[in-house]
Amino acid sequence: MSNVAFLGLGVMGFPMAGHLAKNGHKVTVYNRSSAKAEQWARDYDGHVASTPDAAVGSAEIIFTCLGDDPDVAAVIETASPALASGSIVVDHTTASPALARQLHAQLAKANVGFLDAPVSGGQAGAENGKLAIMCGGDDAHFETVRPVMTAYGARIVHIGAAGAGQLCKSVNQICIAGLLQGLSEGVHFAAKADLDIEKVLEAISGGAAQSWQMENRAKTMAKDEFGFGFAVDWMRKDLRIALAEARENGARLPITATVDQFYGDVQAMGGGRWDTSSLVRRLKDTD
């Protein structure tokens, strides 16, 4: 078992760190809100540190799960002087590929490894230990960390060099954005046509239209319920990263750019903390 630190105990990080503890790893946690860290320590077997550098001092592997590039950069800057030579930092934040490449190069100078390892599966995936993890970084570091990540990862794939994990997460979010808009339009159309949504889903969910989003969100979309995990505010952050990278590499993302603006409409409606299936509300509110 490994001696690990986990920095960031949000809706994803809290259960992920818990799975590490339940799998026998020695876990020290840090969270900006100390109350959240204390709650974690009451729920699981582990230790609480008051600062990032205090958390990482004896850790072989340091996991971060934070909000955005500035959060990751700030925490790593604070923790860096205390990182042990030979340790590995694994960033589960959805952040920019540029930051991942920067941190990989920066930490290598101190003989510290770095993997960008964003996750997919939402809060439910984190709680159930069934996340998909897409990793960028060195082969040796990935092979060292992979067995530890199985505590909460059901599918763990090494995509390529530093930054490749974040690029893969952009692909994930691009696909989800377009799919959710299509599903929203389908649910909206069914309602306008006075169809029984339960029967519609029974009929089409076994065919080519089937998706995880249909299986898990279509019924709640029809009921106007949007309290199921990944928030619109975070999706817009992720799409911002994808669209910025597309401007750099020349990729054409017309649907993604349009759906990003639709999510802006949802935010303007007060839905920043609604889950991403709330795109359908925008259609209802334009009736």
> Tokens standing for 276?
């991403």
Of 272, 124, 266, 94, whose CA–CA distance to 184 is shortest? 266
Residues sharing a CB contact under 8 Å with residue 181, sequence separation 6 or more, in sequence order = 255, 258, 259, 262, 279
**Rounded-to-integer distance, Cα 168 and Cα 171, Å:** 5
3-state per-residue secondary structure call for 78-113: HHHHHCCCCCEEEECCCCCHHHHHHHHHHHHCCCCE
**Given 26, 109, 130, 169, which residue is catalytic?**
169
User: Does the active-site annotation cover 169?
Assistant: yes
- 9 in helix, strand or coil? coil
Catalytic residue numbers read 169
